[in-house]
Structures are given as C-alpha cells and as structure tokens.
Amino acid sequence: MLQENSYIHSDQNERTMVVTWKDEEIADIMDKVLSGRRLTREDGLRLYRSDDLFQIGYMANTVRSRMHGKNAYFVVNRHINPTNICVNRCKICAFAKSVGEDGAYLLSVDEILNMLRSGIHSPPFEVHIVGGLHPDIGIDYYTTLIRGIKEISPDIFVKALTAVEVDHIAKVSGMDVASVLTSLKDAGLDAMPGGGAEIFSRRCQMIGWEKKIEGDRWLDVMRIAHSLGIKSNATMLYGHFETNEERIDHILKLRSLQDDTGGFQAFIPLPFMPDNTSFEGMRGCRRCGGVDDLKTIAISRLMLDNFAHIKAYWIGLGIKTAQVSLSFGADDLDGTIVDEQIFHAAGARSDAGMKQDELIGFIEEAGFSPLERDGAYRILGYVKR
C-alpha cells in the first residue's frame, strides 16, 4: 500500500517508479505537470514557498525530459561589448561608466571587426553584442557594425542589442522602434538577446534602475521585434530586493507575450551580483545561493510551458551549479563566450570564457549529450570531446 504522499510515475521508457513527496502541499502540481495542464500564479507561488527542492526539480526534469530527452545545447559564441558608457547608470550595475570617467570606453567599428577577424572561431558561430546606452551613438554605428560582421562571413549569427538599447537608439536617432528594428534587420541582425528585462516591477525599478525603460515598454519593444520576424530571448534578474510574487508576475507576463507572438527562443534567469554596485555590502543584499538558483530554474521550466528552452547561464551561476541545473529543468548552458565583462564587473567568480572542448566535457560529465546549435537553435550536430 502506498503512503498518502507517494505517487506512482511512469517515465518515457514506461519504467514505473514510486515517488515519495516530502512536501504534500505541492504534490497535486505533479498531476498538472504529467497531464500537460498550465500552472497558475498560485501554483508558482506555492512552488517558491516549498522547501522540497528535489520534488520541484523532479517535476521540472520531467518536463525537460519530455521536451529534450538527454540533449543539452550549447553554442560557439563570442561576447562583445561595444561601450560601457551609459546614460542610465543604474544602481544595480557594476559595468557602466560615464563619459570621461576612468575606464570608460567606446570601441570603433573597425576595432570590433578586427577582433572578429582574429580567428577565435571559424564560422558559423554567434556574436553576442550588448553594451551601455551611449549618449551619442545611434543607428548608423550599429548598422555599419552589423553589415561589417556579415561581410567577414554571412554565416556569423548576429544576436545584438537588448530592448533597452533599441529604445535608446530610437531616441538618439529620432526614429521609432519599428524603424530602428527594420534597419537593423536589413543590415543583417539575426536575433536579439533578452537582457535589460530585470524584474517587471515598478517598485523594484525605482530602487535599482530608475532611468531604465519600464517593464511594459520592454515587452512592447519585443512585441514589435517579434512582429518583424526577429526572434529574441528573455531574462529575469533575481536575488536583489524582489519578492516571489514579483518573480512569478514577471514570468507570467513573458508567458502571455509568448502566447501572442511565439517570438521568444529561450528564457534565462540571471542571478544578481552586488559587488561593485550601489548595493554592495547592504544588509540583506547578497549573492543568492545554489538552492534559489536551482529552484528558480526549475520553476521557470514548469511555468513557461510555451518556451522551448531554459538556459543555465554558466557565467552567472558558476559551472558546477549550471551542470546540476541540467537535471532541474535547464537544457542549454549557453556557450564559449570568450570574454564576458558585465557579470565579472559585478564579481562573477567564473572564468570569462571557456574552450569548446571544456564545455562539451562539462555537459558529458553531467550525464547529458552535447548538442551544438546556432543562435536560432538550428542543430549543427552531436559532438564529443
């Protein structure tokens, strides 16, 4: 006879097992997960309130396995930050500088193109371009840059400019967002990253990023991008001063837009790092731990039923937590990156980049099959060390 808090579960291979829940308060959510029913806001909050990390991870891994089996995706990519000069100077940011400040920089288009010509990777690979909101740099700089990249090789996948940057470029250039995005697409933009979303909470915005566009504006820019055929990612910055309710509301707004447009490729939960920000050393504001990281990834997988991919960004999580996250709902570890600056300015302890063989080895060590993709999740093949 089964205990009241036990559950008979059959996996993809029709193997039957008895699962015993520690937290009976969320056991009913498994029924929804197995039947493919959408979880509610209250379900998400109950998951966050629960301390049964393994039960939550088990449910998320059930969904992950249904969608991706034992595959774990990665991309050969390189991050480039054209400038760290930013008019917003958000309190949560350790990367931004003001014009004339020590360490402030703006790379020329030629400097960036020479970096890509240096032979770090052979195409196809992905270039990930994000930076600050420079007061004087508008659309011409970015269209020239993107065209130059495509001249190096049309096979380079250009993922560039967050919704925040696109909105700023439109203001500097005297254009509307749709015109900016059309110009970028015509120049060769392939997709957009998901950064700058932070938490869609006006309360949190007024504490940490007052000058940045509001959450609804971020969603509007992404809606326009998707309508033009530009795919994007989506992010959530967590672990600062937000509540669990604000986390779930953020996720639900993304889910709603995805219902409308289908334009999001992946969701990336990003842990806040306070070092070198206005919040460094502030009581109650510290880097969250692995339990919160894994729980947030798992809950994201469970709530975002219309997102194909959940990414464990190893730069922010650290490679060990990122490996474990592959069993907690994540299916993508991002990529080689080469020279990450934004998280490292805030105290990230991970390497700034990783060789392809190393990344493949970490995926295999975690018990998954490395699957190389491009920026559009087109599969380039299974790979081994």
Q: Indicate the annotated binding residues for [4Fe-4S] cluster.
A: 86, 90, 93
Number of helices (H) and strands (E) in the chain: give both, helices first. Answer: 15, 13
Binding-site positions for S-adenosyl-L-methionine read 198
Half-sphere exposure of 126 (CA within 13 A, CB side): 26
Tokens of 15: 């193997």
- H or E segment and range at residue 293: helix 290-303
Give the Cα separation of 72 and 379 in Å (integer): 11
The amino acid at residue 131 is: G
Q: Where are the beta strands (DSSP E) in the chain?
A: 6-10, 16-20, 71-75, 77-80, 126-129, 157-160, 191-192, 231-238, 264-271, 309-310, 332-335, 369-373, 379-382
Binding-site positions read 86, 90, 93, 198
CB 333 within 8 A of CB 68: no
Place of tokens 């099959």: 369
